[in-house]
Amino acid sequence: MGIPVRLEVFEGPLDLLLYLIDKNKIDIYDIPIVLITEQYMEYIQNMQDRDMDVMSEFLVMAATLVKIKSKMLLPRDEKKEEEEDPRQELVERLLEYKMYKYMSLTLKDKQLDAEKVLYKSATIPSAIKNYKEEVNVEELMADVTLAKLQKIFHSVM
């Protein structure tokens, strides 16, 4: 009997960050960089995929997190009252990624719903296809006259 193991597969570094934020129930506008950076680095160390293209994306994000962490540890300049939060750019990127991720999931759901619908091509019965809109009065009068003559002829006989 084996132990069930669930491996998380992330589509990129922002996907991993969103997972860590959701897992820790953190407000995306107030990310504790120290905690997230530690968990992020732990995940990178345990990654099974050693593809350099994939790893490089995650390492760039790890470097960004370390840079933000170092900026937050530096003392703030008291002369500059309104210094921008070093996490602000990361928060904006995460919010944009989250929006696109949920939009893609919505579109995927719509696609799955659309696959369940079948459409029948338009078929027109031949009687309706051959219908003539114009009525020829002379032909109609001839048909009526012929019908009356036949009726009279049958009644005499």
Q: How does residue 110 score in pLDDT terms, banded at 50, 70 and 90?
A: very high
Region of residue 25 (left: phi > 0; alpha: psi -120 to 50; beta: else): left
Token pair recorded at residue 80: 């500059």
d(CA 32, CA 30): 6
Q: Residues near 12 by Cβ (< 8 Å), separated by ≥ 6?
A: 57
Average pLDDT, the chain: 82
Per-residue DSSP letter, 1: -
Tell me the per-residue pLDDT of 4-37, one tens digit each, with 9 for 90 and over.
544 467 788 899 899 999 999 988 888 888 888 8
Q: Would you state the pLDDT for residue 3?
A: 55
Least confident of 29-38, 63-72, 148-157: 148-157
Q: Which residue has the tokens 């048909």?
A: 143
Q: Residues near 35 by Cβ (< 8 Å), separated by ≥ 6?
A: 24, 26
State mean pLDDT over 60-68. 89
pTM, two decimals, is 0.60
Q: How does residue 117 score in pLDDT terms, banded at 50, 70 and 90?
A: confident
> Do 81 and 25 touch, CB atoms closer than 8 A?
no
